[in-house]
Amino acid sequence: MADNTPYKTCFLPKSKEEEEEDERIYKRLKEIVATLPTIKGWSSNPMYQYQGFWYSSDLVGVGPLAVHDHFKAHTTDVLLAATPKSGTTWLKSLAFAVMNRKSHPSLDGRQHPLLKFNSHDLVPTLELRLYNNNHNGDRIPNLDILLSPRLLATHMPYTSLPQSVTHSGCRIIYICRNINDTLVSYWHFFNRVRSKNNSSMGPITLEETFEWFCEGKSEYGPLWDQALGYWKGSLDRPQNVLFLKYDDLQEEPVLHLKRMAEFMGCPFSSMEEKEGMVDQIIKLCSFENLSNLAVNKTATNHLGVTYDAYFRQGKVGDSMSYLTSEMMEELHHITEQKLHGSGLTL
């Protein structure tokens, strides 16, 4: 693969027969995608609808179908799932720091991987990085090469995950965020991606983004349905699905980081707590710290977008400066309707 990420070993050369098999797999998936409903999206290429959710072919290629058919979860895996623009980068950083704290105990030292890599390069997203034919060519990654427990991520809905994820011991940590802030963050981010990919298209207006978003035609949308899928998963299988909210994590980081560590099977010991490990991880992964690192100011993701696009404000309620009261009312109305009776609030 083009980038120098720690997981590049998943793409070591294969035999000719294996390569031909991978090509056959991707050819079939591209044929399936060609038959799916499409709409004009935020880029010059269309979005397609797969199992009720929208994906940009630019962004993921046929990745979601490849994940659905070919990703095999291990019972020891921890899968981080997120609504786009809900704190994925933050969750990846926190989970990585928690899981690897024994091998990288000196969190403040210069050696910690989070100081050298953006968390998206440490915790790859299955459909965007690993199974994305636009990024890697027609190659199924060999994820068995990764050390256990594997820490992986996805934005795909719960209902589209392979059975090896939803019917095994694999643990999922899901994060979402209040709808208003998600929408505004989404708008800013996709304008960055769009200007990088095709500068001739010009920026998308907030009004246009709002319209698509409300119709459920945003990346991985409808986002309400995505959140509901994981919410139901967390109620049905609480040992396997932990449901988090960005807003709660901002308010009570210590509480939620401890919940995460416990859920991941590596709770903080009383000694670690006494020595300040929880606070150190929170500080290491704070917006202020990560957003000021050289790697996050200059390195680029697989789309060529600088990682600073993932660090904008990092505040709860920032959307109030952008959305009109009519827009907020409409979002509130849709959210009430969509989540009615579920017990979930967004």
Cite the active site residues.
155
Residue from 64, 183, 311, 331 binding ligand A3P (CB under 6 A):
311
What are the residues whose beta carbons fall under 8 Å from the beta carbon of 139, sequence distance 6 or more? 11, 14, 19, 22, 133
- β-strands 241-245, 171-176 pairing: parallel
Which C-beta is closer to ligand A3P: that of 82 or that of 140?
Answer: 82
Minimum CB separation of residue 341 from ligand A3P in Å reads 27
CB-CB contact of 116 with 295 (8 Å):
yes
- Beta bridge partners, 242, equal 173
Tell me which long-range contacts 264-271 makes (C-beta under 8 A, separation of at least 24). 264/78, 264/95, 264/98, 264/99, 264/149, 264/171, 264/173, 265/149, 265/171, 266/98, 266/99, 266/101
CB nearer ligand A3P, residue 68 or residue 120: 120
Burial class (CB in 10 A: 0-12, 13-18, 19+), 266: middle
Residue 174 forms beta bridges with which residues? 81, 243
Residue 290 touches ligand A3P, criterion: CB under 6 A:
yes
Among 30, 74, 116, 312, binds ligand A3P (CB under 6 A): 312
How far, rounded to the nearest angstrom, does the alpha carbon of residue 193 sit from its chain's CA centroid? Answer: 16
Site residues for ligand A3P, 60-89, by CB under 6 A, read 82, 84-89
Site membership for ligand A3P, residue 287 (CB under 6 A): yes
Binding-residue total with ligand A3P (CB under 6 A): 21
Q: How far is CA 267 from CA 79, 93, 174, 277, 278, in A?
A: 17, 17, 18, 11, 10
Q: Nearer to ligand A3P by C-beta: 77 or 219?
A: 219
User: What would the two tokens of residue 323 be?
Assistant: 């959305």
Name the segment binding ligand A3P (CB under 6 A); options: 50-58, 272-280, 312-320, 324-332.
312-320
Q: Which two tokens stand for residue 76?
A: 């020891």
Compare residues 11 and 189 and give the one whose CB is closer to ligand A3P. 189
Tokens standing for residue 39: 């709409």
162 binding ligand A3P? (CB under 6 A):
no
Contacts of residue 344, defined as CB under 8 A and 6 or more positions apart, other chains included, come to: 227, 228, 231
Looking at residues 163 to 192 of the shown chain, list those that interact with ligand A3P (rule: CB under 6 A): 181, 185, 188
Smallest separation, CB 209 to ligand A3P (Å): 13
Question: Which of 62/249 has CB closer to ligand A3P?
Answer: 249
Q: For tokens 């991707």, what's the residue? A: 26
Give the shortest CB-321-to-ligand A3P separation in angstroms.
11
- x/- map, 237-276, ligand A3P, by CB under 6 A: ----------------------------------------
Closer by beta carbon to ligand A3P, 25 or else 78: 78
Binding mask 88-127 for ligand A3P (x = CB under 6 A): xxx-------------------------------------
Please list, residue by residue across 82-93, b when 16 or more beta carbons sit within 10 angstroms of its beta carbon and e when fewer do.
bbbbbbbbbbbb
Q: How far is the CB of 322 from ligand A3P (least distance, A)?
A: 10
Beta carbon of residue 288, minimum distance to ligand A3P (angstroms, whole number): 8
- In this chain, which stretch among 138-146, 165-173, 253-261, 305-313 interacts with ligand A3P, using CB under 6 A? 305-313
3-state DSSP: the chain helix, strand, coil percent, rounded to 5?
A: 55, 10, 35
Residues in touch with ligand A3P (CB under 6 A): 82, 84-90, 181, 185, 188, 285-287, 290, 310-314, 318
